[in-house]
Amino acid sequence: MAIRLPAPPHPTPPWNFLAAETGIVHRLKARLQSGAAPWAREVASRDALATVAEEMQHCPAVYVVYDGFTVQDADEQRALLAHRFLTILAIANATQGRDAAPRNQSAGALLPDIIAALHGFTPPECAGGLIPVTAPRPYYSEAKFAYFPLAWQTPVIHSTRQGPVFGRHPSH
């Protein structure tokens, strides 16, 4: 004899907790790889960054990396979470050695395009737009590469009554 469990009081919509990453990648591809002045030779997720040898990268490139989440506010009925993402601009420059100025200048001209593409953009299955937050320092490799991270945060709301809440956060 099978045991029947009662149905939940309110069915919750399907929810991919990490769908925002794909949405951010698609947004960046649309803005940085097409239009009047496309410049990104690659826009991809962390997997591409982790699996390609540095000298084989197609630069300039932008990589989207999920950086975890924080709990902003929570009780027994609801939770306000904040996903954190990094967008990492990879730059290659033939200048070797310690002089970072040429790589910095190359990045300085491209970073505003990433900011313009993402600031305020609401990724899929999130409750509000991406907001810039303090990012890690740039990394300069021994070779001719430099990596310039931007950090972003976006709210995610879960309610025990409704499940996930998508779209604009009520405070926006």
Enumerate the domain spans of the chain: 43-165
Mean pLDDT by 10 residues, the chain (172 residues): 54 80 97 94 87 84 96 94 97 71 89 98 95 96 89 94 74 46
Half-sphere exposure of residue 137, counting CA atoms within 13 Å on the CB side?
A: 3
pLDDT score, position 172: 44
Burial class, 146, CB count within 10 angstroms (exposed 0-12 / middle 13-18 / buried 19+)? buried
pLDDT score, position 93: 80
Q: Retrieve residue 55's tokens.
A: 């000298």
At 169, give phi and psi (nearest 5°).
Answer: -65, 140
The answer to whether the beta carbons of residues 130 and 154 sit under 8 Å apart is yes
Classified as helix, coil or strand, 20 is: helix
The answer to whether the beta carbons of residues 62 and 43 sit under 8 Å apart is yes
Q: Domain 43-165 has what CATH class?
A: alpha beta
The answer to whether the beta carbons of residues 124 and 23 sit under 8 Å apart is yes
pLDDT score, position 47: 84
The answer to whether the beta carbons of residues 72 and 90 sit under 8 Å apart is no
